[in-house]
């Protein structure tokens, strides 16, 4: 920004017509439209030629910035086997394929993605789903290939996120549909049975002898059958599974209640002794299923289950018998020769055999300086080549590599199971036994009169059916999930909220978690540098790997040249060298011009520059820590043990110690495995660990921890497998989020108490054997609905008081 001022008239901001980013110059333009880069201009030209400029009228500057554009190579899509895995189906002529497009963000995006056929007639049909961020495309095999379709999307800025994992999602989709059927049927039956039960509620005199009563009874059974056998089936299955594992989960008393309701109603109606409780039963099932919707609330567009495969390209170029072909990454074998081009990842541990390697391990370790490699050097999987193409030979399979070994850890093979220790299941265990004993006692008490005994026994089980209990958790946690989502904190499921309420220890990653990525915070203070001087500075700092040098290096976008002589790096002081005959010194004030540093006012670090003995000024380098970091750490420190694990070197340790305090354990140069082990050791000491990290290198620790949160600039970006995705803007609310989870837990306990009170009232009637269907029909839905209303209102009220809503 500082440098751009001189190019522009003051006060006028130039925004790219395509993507809305600030333009440095107005050189790149068509007519009166300015673009920030040639990439954006190209996209505009493509759209203009095809008469698709409506794109720009639907939303302002809808495009995706093309500044960081790298030309990707999609040749691997010609591989028939790979294509088979990516497409949905093909009949030889027409092929249907679904792509995930994370960049989709506005109505213009939907429009352009649905008008692809105007760009290429080979595409017959395309349909976007905004929430899931996917586009389904049908194209004609004769006119266009899969590779060309992907290239077309890429050319207009919507690069598909190609990986082979997407297909699992369809399963949850069909599950949701099933739930919708079940609710529809239960709701339908509930409404109709309620209507047929009205004469009974109102005690219509003539009703009891009427033929209508019998008809209504049979109709009610007819309606209740699909509810019992279809809609309620999952509760029976879950209860059975629980009992098999000797766990009395909440579904056990629920199923017991439903079964007793149904059988007793059947007996009463068929023997003409009563009207039964089918209205209560269907209402119960209906409400329970609605609760399940709340519990199943998920973020379709977000992926919490990424494994290492989605980080790697799905295919690589290999050299076989002197020819270049592509091969899916999963089929790579030891001793395959792979060609790695600029900006491509090395998928397996390999040895460099040809070319000059500059490997950027930022993906793996958080350290962003490329490491130079020469022939014969080992390159670990996850490294990214920067520069020309290299040829490597794999020495391990993808799944055995240094990085991917993590995924062989047992933490990853742990299958998802609903947590059996959740509060509701603990409560339900005692609840079930208490209710069963009350029912038995009531039955024994009335024993000589067997009909009353039967009535009392069943009535207790019916009225005590813990519908309200079963609903309180999903509604409270579902609502919390929604509130978190509004604050850009997305959790995988409701279990995470509960796990978060029990946290004792918090582990932070450094790079990307505590520090912000890609924000330039370096400023030169002093007389502006000439281009020649910038070259000198940049040439010098490139020789150093110190983080401050990197910051300065990134400040200037200029080609470096010149020969460096007498380069010296004095730790904790600075660097100096003679470049193009000029003596350049960069470092502390003491080092550069022998004056003691004044007391600093702001947090920024000053790095002084002198050329040939003239002090030119200083670089003010603000630490790139997240805003309010010290504040949030201070708050968290009061209630939790904090730890810091970093893959980076410890150059920032003093700075961090200031923020975290002296006693906080900080570990640097941690491998991904070491991070995982550290979390594990905490857990073995009985701690509940929340880990917050961002990179692939944190993936193991995130998975191992009780709550693994991945922090991201944009939730739709890549993030490792985790329990929650936190947008970096909301980092400052972390303590509020954890506190809110605790509040949610307290609300659940309160709603348990409410539902127990209802149960006591119901049992009072039930043990006397006088539970009339009307009381049941009122009491049961009333208790459920009041609990739902209570939890929803209180969670919202607490969220408002904490300014989360």
Closest to another protein by CB, 222 vs 558, is 222
> In the complex with another protein, which residue's Cβ is closer, 111 or 668?
111
Query: C-beta of 405: minimal distance to another protein in Å?
Result: 39
In whole angstroms, give the CA distance from residue 460 to residue 766: 5
**Which CB, 186 or 460, lies closer to another protein?**
186
Complex with another protein: residue 227 or 699, whichever CB lies closer? 227
Nearer to another protein, 214 or 650 (CB): 214
CB 254 within 8 A of CB 281: no
Q: Name the residue nearer to another protein (CB basis): 210 or 597.
A: 210
Neighbours of 399 (CB within 10 A): 15
Asked if residue 740 lies in contact with residue 480, where contact means CB atoms within 8 angstroms, the answer is: yes
At 724 the three-state DSSP class reads strand
Instruction: CB nearer to another protein: give 30 or 212.
Output: 212
Report the distance separating Cα 766 and Cα 775, nearest Å.
10
Closest approach of another protein to the CB of residue 250, in Å: 27
Q: Cα(735)–Cα(802) distance, rounded to whole angstroms?
A: 11
The set of residues, in sequence order, having a beta carbon less than 8 Å from that of 275 and lying 6+ positions away, is 197, 200, 213, 216, 217, 220, 268, 269, 773
Residues that bind another protein (CB under 8 A): 51, 53-54, 57-58, 107, 110-111, 114, 117, 124-125, 127-132, 138, 173, 177, 180-181, 184-185, 188, 191-192, 210-212, 215, 219
Q: Compute the distance between CA of residue 48 and CA of residue 44 in angstroms, rounded to an integer.
A: 6
Question: Are residues 240 and 295 in contact, defined by beta-carbon separation less than 8 angstroms?
Answer: no
Nearest to 268 by CA among 221, 222, 199, 210: 221
Is the Cβ of residue 142 or residue 746 nearer to another protein in the bound state? 142
What is the nearest approach in angstroms of another protein to the Cβ of residue 142? 16
As measured in angstroms, the least distance from the Cβ of 162 to another protein is 22
Question: Any idea what the Cα angle at residue 94 is, between residues 112 and 83, rounded to 5°?
Answer: 85
- Sheet containing strand 123-129, edge to edge, reads 87-90, 94-100, 134-140, 123-129
Coil, helix or strand for 130? Answer: coil
Helix, strand or coil for residue 24? coil
Q: Minimum distance from CB of 172 to another protein (Å)?
A: 12
CB of 219 to another protein, least distance (A): 8
Q: Output the smallest distance, CB 115 to another protein, in A.
A: 9
CB of 204 to another protein, least distance (A): 12
- Minimum Å gap between C-beta 639 and another protein is 39
Closest by alpha carbon to 730, among 641, 656, 804? 804
Helical residues (DSSP H) of 327-380, grouped into ranges: 362-365
Q: For helices 629-639 and 653-660, give the axis angle rounded to 10 degrees.
A: 60
The nearer residue to another protein, 99 or 431, going by C-beta atoms, is 99
Q: Taking the complex as a whole, how short is the minimal distance between the CB of residue 724 and another protein, in angstroms?
A: 23
* CA dist., res. 341 & res. 116, Å (int): 30
């Amino acid at each position: 920004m500082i440098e751009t001022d001189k190019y522009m008239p003051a006060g006028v901001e130039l925004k790219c017509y395509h993507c809305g980013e600030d333009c440095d110059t107005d050189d790149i333009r068509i007519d009166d439209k300015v673009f920030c880069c040639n990439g954006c201009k190209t996209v505009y030209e493509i759209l203009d030629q095809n008469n698709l400029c409506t794109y720009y009228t639907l939303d302002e500057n809808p495009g995706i910035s093309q500044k960081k554009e790298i030309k990707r190579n999609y040749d691997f899509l010609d591989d028939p086997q790979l294509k088979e895995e990516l497409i949905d189906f093909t009949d030889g002529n027409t092929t249907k394929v679904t792509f995930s497009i994370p960049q989709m963000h506005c109505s213009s995006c939907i429009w352009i993605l649905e008008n692809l056929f105007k760009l290429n007639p080979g595409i017959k049909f395309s349909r976007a789903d905004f929430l899931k961020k996917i586009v389904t495309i049908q194209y004609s095999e004769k006119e266009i290939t899969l590779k060309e379709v992907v290239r077309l999307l890429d050319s207009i800025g919507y690069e598909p996120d190609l990986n082979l994992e997407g297909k699992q999602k369809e399963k949850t989709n069909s599950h949701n549909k099933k739930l919708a059927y079940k609710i529809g049927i239960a709701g339908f039956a509930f409404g109709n049975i309620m209507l047929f039960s009205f004469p009974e509620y109102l005690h219509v005199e003539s009703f009891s002898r009427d033929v209508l009563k019998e008809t209504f009874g049979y109709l009610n059974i007819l309606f209740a059958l699909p509810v019992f056998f279809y809609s309620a089936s999952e509760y029976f299955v879950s209860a059975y599974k629980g009992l098999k594992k000797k766990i009395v989960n909440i579904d056990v008393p629920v199923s017991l209640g439903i079964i007793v309701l149904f059988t007793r109603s059947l007996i009463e109606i068929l023997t003409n002794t009563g009207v039964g409780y089918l209205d209560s039963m269907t209402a119960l099932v209906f409400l329970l299923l609605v609760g399940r919707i709340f519990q199943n609330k998920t973020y379709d567009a977000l992926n919490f289950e990424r494994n290492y495969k989605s980080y790697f390209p799905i295919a690589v170029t290999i050299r076989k018998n002197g020819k270049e072909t592509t091969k899916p990454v999963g089929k790579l074998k030891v001793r395959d020769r792979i060609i790695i081009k600029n900006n491509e990842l090395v998928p397996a541990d390999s040895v460099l055999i040809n070319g000059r390697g500059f490997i950027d391990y930022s993906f793996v370790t958080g350290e962003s300086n490329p490491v130079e490699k020469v022939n014969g050097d080992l390159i670990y999987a996850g490294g990214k080549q920067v520069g020309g193409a290299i040829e490597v030979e794999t020495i391990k399979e993808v799944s055995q590599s240094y990085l991917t070994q993590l995924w062989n850890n047992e933490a990853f093979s742990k299958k998802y199971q609903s947590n059996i220790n959740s509060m509701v299941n603990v409560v339900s265990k005692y609840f079930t036994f208490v209710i069963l004993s009350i029912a038995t006692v009531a039955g024994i008490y009335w024993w000589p009169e067997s009909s009353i005994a039967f009535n009392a026994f069943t009535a207790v089980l019916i009225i005590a059916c813990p519908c309200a209990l079963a609903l309180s958790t999903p509604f409270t946690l579902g609502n919390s999930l929604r509130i978190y989502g509004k604050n850009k904190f997305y959790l995988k499921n409701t279990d995470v909220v509960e796990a978060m309420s029990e946290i004792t220890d918090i582990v932070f990653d450094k790079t990307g978690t505590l520090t912000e990525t890609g924000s330039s915070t370096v400023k030169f203070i002093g007389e502006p540098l000439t281009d020649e001087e910038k070259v000198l500075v940049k040439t010098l700092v490139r020789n150093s790997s110190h983080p401050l040098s990197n910051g300065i290096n990134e400040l200037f976008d200029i080609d470096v040249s010149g020969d460096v002589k007498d380069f010296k790096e004095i730790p904790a002081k600075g660097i100096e060298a003679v470049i193009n005959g000029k003596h350049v010194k960069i470092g502390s004030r003491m080092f550069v011009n022998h004056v003691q540093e004044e007391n600093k006012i702001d947090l920024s670090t000053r790095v002084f520059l002198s050329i040939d003995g003239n002090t030119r000024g200083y670089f003010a380098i603000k630490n790139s820590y997240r805003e309010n970091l010290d504040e949030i750490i201070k708050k968290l420190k009061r209630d939790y043990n904090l730890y810091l694990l970093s893959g980076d070197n410890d150059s920032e340790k003093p700075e961090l110690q200031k923020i975290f305090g002296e006693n906080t354990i900080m570990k640097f140069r941690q491998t991904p495995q070491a991070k995982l082990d550290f979390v594990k050791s905490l857990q073995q000491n009985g701690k509940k660990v929340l880990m917050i990290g961002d990179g692939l290198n944190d993936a193991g620790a995130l998975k191992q921890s009780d709550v693994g949160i991945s922090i991201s600039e944009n939730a739709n970006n890549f993030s490792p497998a985790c329990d929650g995705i936190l947008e970096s803007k909301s980092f400052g609310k972390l303590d509020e989020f954890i506190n809110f989870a605790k509040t949610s837990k307290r609300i659940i306990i309160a709603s348990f108490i409410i539902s127990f009170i209802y149960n006591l009232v119901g049992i009072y009637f039930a043990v006397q054997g006088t539970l009339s269907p009307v009381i049941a029909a009122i009491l049961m839905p009333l208790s459920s609905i009041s609990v739902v209303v209570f939890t929803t209102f209180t969670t919202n009220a607490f969220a408002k008081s904490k300014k989360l809503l």
